[in-house]
Amino acid sequence: MRRKMVVGNWKMNGSIKQNEILLQGLIAGLRDLHDADFVVCTPYPYIGQAQAMLQGSNIAWGAQNLCSAKDGALTGAVAPSMLVDYGCTHVIIGHSERRALFNETDDTAAARFNAALEVGLIPIFCMGESREERDSDWTDYIVGRQLDSIIRRFGPEVLKNAVLAYEPLWAVGADEPATPEQAQEVHDFIRKRVARCDTGIAANVRILYGGSVRPHNAASLFGMPDVDGGLVGRASLVAEKFVPICEVANG
C-alpha cells in the first residue's frame, strides 16, 4: 500500500514574513495528520527558515532544483550537499518551468537526479506533455521519453528512492486540472512502463499528480488508483488551501 504524499512547490514566491505565517498555519493544520507525507519546497534563501520552523514537525522541506556538480567555480549554483546541510530531504527535478524557461534537458535533469540521490536526497522527478503534444497524441511518447531518460541511465532501482510526478504542462499554472481519468491514464502508463523493468518497484513508486490541484478537486484526483498524491503550486502558498489538500491525502 503506497502512502500518499503532498508536496508544496512554492516556486519563486514568499518573503520571510509571509513564510512565517504560512508555515505556522501548516504546522498547526497538519499536526494531527499522520497517514501521509508532507513536504514544502521553498526558494533557496528560505530553506534555513523552513528548517528552523519545521524541525520536529511532521512536515519535511526541500528545494526546487540543485546543481549536479559537488562544488567549484559555478557562480549562482547550489550544490546538493548544501541542501543536506540545511536538512532538506527532497528536491524537485526537471520541473516543466525549468525545462521551458531555463533550458533543462533530459540530460541535465538526469544528472541532477543522480546528484540528488548521491547525497541521499529524494528527487521528485517531473514529467509531462504540452497541450500541442497531447492534441497530437504524443503524451505517451513524451512522458515515456522523460521517464526513460532516468531508467535507461540508472536502472529502475533508483526509483526505490525517488518520487515521480506527472505534471501536464497545460494544467500547470492554469485553471484547468487534468480530469481524474486523464491523470489516471498517464499514471497507469508510467507505472506499467516501470513494471516492464521491475514489477516490485513499479508497485511501490509513488506517482504524484501536479497541475491546478485545489481543495475541491483533490479528492477525485487522489482517489484514482495510481495517483499517490499531489505536487501543488499556487494552492501551496495559502495554508487554508494546502491543509485541506493534505487532509484529503491523509484519508
Q: Which residues pair with 6 in a beta bridge?
A: 38, 230
State the minimum distance, in angstroms, from the CB of residue 107 to ligand PGA: 22
Reading the block at residue 212, the C-alpha cell is 491546478
Q: How far is the CB of 196 from ligand PGA (least distance, A)?
A: 27
Query: In this complex, which beta carbon is closest to ligand PGA, that of residue 94 or of residue 156?
Result: 94
CB of 230 to ligand PGA, least distance (A): 8
DSSP 8-state assignment for residue 177: P
Instruction: Name 25's Cβ contacts closer than 8 Å, sequence gap at least 6.
Output: 239, 240, 243
Q: Answer yes or no: 185 catalytic.
A: no
- Choice between 19 and 96, CB closer to ligand PGA: 96
Give min distance, CB of 111 to ligand PGA, in A.
21
In the complex with ligand PGA, the residue whose CB is nearer, 129 or 156, is 129
Q: Which of 95, 104, 133, 187 is labelled catalytic? A: 95
* Residue 181 appears among annotated catalytic residues: no
Give the DSSP H/E element, type plus range, for residue 63: strand 59-63
| 185 vs 215: CA distance, rounded Å | 22
Question: What is the grid cell recorded at 48?
Answer: 534555513
- Among 97, 133, 167, 247, which one carries the catalytic annotation? 167
Q: With respect to ligand PGA, which residue has the nearer C-beta, 45 or 173? A: 173
Q: Which amino acid is at 251?
A: G
Contact residues toward ligand PGA (CB under 6 A) are 9, 167, 172-173, 210-213, 231-235
Name the nearest CA neighbour of 65 among 10, 138, 129, 137: 10
DSSP for residue 75: T
Give the cell for residue 228: 499517490
Catalytic residues: 95, 167
